[in-house]
């Protein structure tokens, strides 16, 4: 019997790297990602590896768990987000749903 695959929601904080595609004056960014995996640890490893292959500099990862875990925690998951989770599962790949650059204020 095969292990069940879940889609995990992760937020990855990234630092600057040459050619990372972030705005010139950004100090880094947060990326919300969806990754299909059997375990949370596998999802984190796979997401970090994919982002590094893409020339990014992952610094820290926070996991919000599977869709069911998020629903159990009271998260509101809209249709667009559910669609991206399904896409990650269908394509068996990491989907970057959103990137929010960080800027120094001062």
Residue 104 lies in a domain: no
Residue 45 lies in a domain: yes
CA 94 to chain centre: 7
Q: How many domains does the chain have?
A: 1
Domain of residue 84, residue span: 6-94
pLDDT greater than 80 at residue 76 = yes
Whole-number Å distance between alpha carbons of 35 and 84 = 10
Residue 71 lies in a domain: yes
Q: What is the separation, in whole angstroms, between the first and last Cα of the chain?
A: 56
Whole-number Å distance between alpha carbons of 42 and 59 = 17
> Where does the pLDDT of residue 3 fall: very low under 50, low under 70, confident under 90, or very high at 90 and above?
confident
Give pLDDT tens digits for 17-67: 999 999 999 999 999 999 999 999 999 999 999 999 999 999 999 999 999
Residue 25 lies in a domain: yes
pLDDT greater than 70 at residue 2 = no
Tokens 């559910």 identify what position? Answer: 82
64, HSE (Cβ side, Cα atoms, 13 Å): 18
Give this prediction's pTM: 0.92
């Amino acid at each position: 019997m095969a292990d069940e695959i879940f889609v995990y929601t992760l937020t990855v904080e990234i630092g600057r790297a040459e050619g990372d595609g972030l705005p010139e004056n950004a100090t880094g960014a947060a990326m919300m990602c969806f990754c299909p995996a059997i375990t949370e640890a596998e999802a984190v490893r796979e997401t970090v590896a994919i982002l590094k292959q893409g020339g990014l500099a992952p610094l820290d990862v926070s996991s919000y768990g599977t869709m069911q875990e998020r629903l159990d925690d009271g998260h509101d998951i809209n249709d667009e987000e559910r669609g991206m989770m399904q896409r990650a599962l269908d394509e068996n790949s990491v989907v970057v749903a959103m990137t929010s650059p960080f800027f120094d204020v001062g």
